[in-house]
Structure 1
Amino acid sequence: MKTKAIVTGHSRGLGEAIAAALLDKQVDVLGLSRRASTHLAPSDGAKLTQVALDLGDVGALTDRSLSDRIEAFCAGADRVILVNNAGMVKPIGPVGTGGAADIAKAVTLNVTGPLVLADLFQAVAAPVKDRRLLHISSGAGRRGMAGWSVYCATKAALDNHARAIKEDAVPGLRVASLAPGVIDTDMQADIRGSSVEQFPAIDQFKAMKADGVLASPTEAGAKIAAYLLSDAFGAETLTDLRTL
């Protein structure tokens, strides 16, 4: 069975780890990110294609060339996967401090991008019998946290998008929105770089780093890749990596 996967935000952190684990499993990967990964490499039996794309740019998302590229990549596959991983935690701070430009940028990257790509993916990959869509969500999308009103709202949007797609009951399309837990990535550095006034729970996150309890991107990526390829994928629409 030939499997191909599209991974956004593949150039670093969790996205890079997911892409690496899929390549190790002989899955062709199309990486979409503003910059190329300097660590990823094709493996025996798997191809890596990297495309420079600003997923926070509405013009880039709506350009016909993106649809054409995804359609061409999916051709010849028995199973295709889309991993909407790219995202940002900023702006951090109480309501009234985010700023219009930064809020719009976060919503475009965290919500508009994944929804547009999901729609393109289903539209052009419909001939492939086994299609799998994964949103990388967050526990923050399932509860409110002071200082994270924008981040919480955008991740909640992905969760409900997955729920609605499940209700669509499109033949051949499986969907899941997964909270990966707290992983040692650049996003965590952004969080620790905020102030207590911006993010009252900052000491908790600093302590997790100091105590060495943050999950490894490599381990999390491998577990997510295994889940993507398993028969269990999509059995639960909202899930958490720590319970898989």
Structure 2
Amino acid sequence: MATPHTHLTILTGASRGMGLSMAQRLLHADHHLLCVSRQRNDELTARAQASGAQLTQWTLDLSDATTAAERLGAWLGAQATASIASVTLINNAGVIPPIGPLGTCPPQELTRALRVGLEAPMLLTGAFLRATQAWVDAGWRGPRKVLNISSGLGRHAMAAQAPYCAAKAGMDHFTRCCALEEAQHAHGAQLVSLAPGVIDTDMQKQLRAGDPALFPDRERFVSLQQQGQLTSPDEAAERVLAYLARADFGSHAVADVRD
């Protein structure tokens, strides 16, 4: 039997920011990368062709997480596992609704933030674990990993950020729960909810553009940029993927890349 050689990775929010940087770094000849984003990225297609990597892109709105999870489960169930050496899910997509007190947040924006930031990672993780457990039950023995991209705001409350903080706190805690569940299995998956540090992305621009009257911590984010304390998306992606590759990945269900 041929040695499995393909490393399969599913990555959400891959069309820009740190997600795009991670996708670019995962384009190798021995990788199959499935990107799930609202928009297709033609640059990734070109880079995949140049590197010999296998790239699949789905244009999906993760606020419809049920559809995305059902599609992922079916897709994983159809894969030929004999060639797959490892499988990883990276839940990276997130949304910050209009910045301000909870009472000022439009209900539809609050709903979207929680669906993309918490409901989608939970449903996708559930679909991933079910489908790949079926691989294990059939004799497959490669490593299974789930990396949830969290935030320090999931661990430290901030005014005007209730939806985002709540989504990331929920991500941390459901990761803890699933890690306990998987630890009961002989070939369980490894799960980590990882804070990637403060990154210079569009999300940071949104925070700096907040109304000072509604967002008392705005100046903190302005100062981070002025003092050069923001990590570039490419550097953050390198650190996150290095953490994913650590031999002790999964030893702590909730972690910070700066630890």
TM bin (shorter chain): over 0.9
- Shift, 1:209, TM fit: 1.4
Residues 191 and 253, structure 2, Cα contact 8 Å, conserved in 1: yes
Q: Which sections of structure 1, spanning at least 5 residues, go unmatched?
A: none
Q: What is the identity percentage for the equivalent residue pairs of Structure 1 and Structure 2?
A: 37
Which of 91, 103, 106 is equivalent to 1:99? 106
CA–CA distance in 1 between the matches of 2:117 and 2:251? 24
Q: Which sections of structure 2, spanning at least 5 residues, go unmatched?
A: none
Which of 11, 15, 23 is equivalent to 2:27? 23
- Shift, 1:122, TM fit: 0.8
What amino acid does structure 1 have at the position aligned with 2:198? V
In the TM superposition, structure 1's runs of 4+ consecutive aligned residues that sit over 6 Å from their partners are none
Change (3 A) 1:9 1:182: same
Change (3 A) 1:44 1:172: farther
Name the residue aligned to 1:85.
92
Check if 1:137 corresponds to 2:150.
Answer: yes
Which of 4, 10, 14 is equivalent to 1:10? 14
- Shift, 1:212, TM fit: 2.1
What amino acid does structure 2 have at the position aligned with 1:226? A
Give me the CA root mean square deviation.
1.8
TM-score after normalising by structure 1:
0.92
CA–CA distance in 2 between the matches of 1:38 and 1:109? 23
CA–CA distance in 1 between the matches of 2:124 and 2:195? 19
Change (3 A) 1:201 1:189: same
Name the residue aligned to 1:188.
204
CA–CA distance in 1 between the matches of 2:42 and 2:121? 24
Q: Render the CA deviation track for 1:85-134: whole Å, top value 9, x for unaligned.
A: 00012232112111211111111000110000000101112214310001
- Shift, 1:77, TM fit: 1.2
What amino acid does structure 2 have at the position aligned with 1:60? T
Residues 80 and 131, structure 1, Cα contact 8 Å, conserved in 2: yes
Residues 72 and 124, structure 2, Cα contact 8 Å, conserved in 1: no
Name the residue aligned to 1:225.
241
Residues 91 and 102, structure 1, Cα contact 8 Å, conserved in 2: yes
CA–CA distance in 2 between the matches of 1:78 and 1:172? 15
Q: Render the CA deviation track for 1:157-197: whole Å, top value 9, x for unaligned.
A: 00001110111124330000000111011111111121112
Q: Name the SS for the 2:78 alignment partner.
A: helix
CA–CA distance in 2 between the matches of 1:80 and 1:58? 20
Change (3 A) 1:203 1:125: same
CA–CA distance in 2 between the matches of 1:66 and 1:140? 28
Change (3 A) 1:157 1:185: same
Residues 147 and 199, structure 1, Cα contact 8 Å, conserved in 2: yes
Name the residue aligned to 2:75.
69
Change (3 A) 1:38 1:203: farther
Residues 11 and 38, structure 1, Cα contact 8 Å, conserved in 2: no
Aligned residues: 242
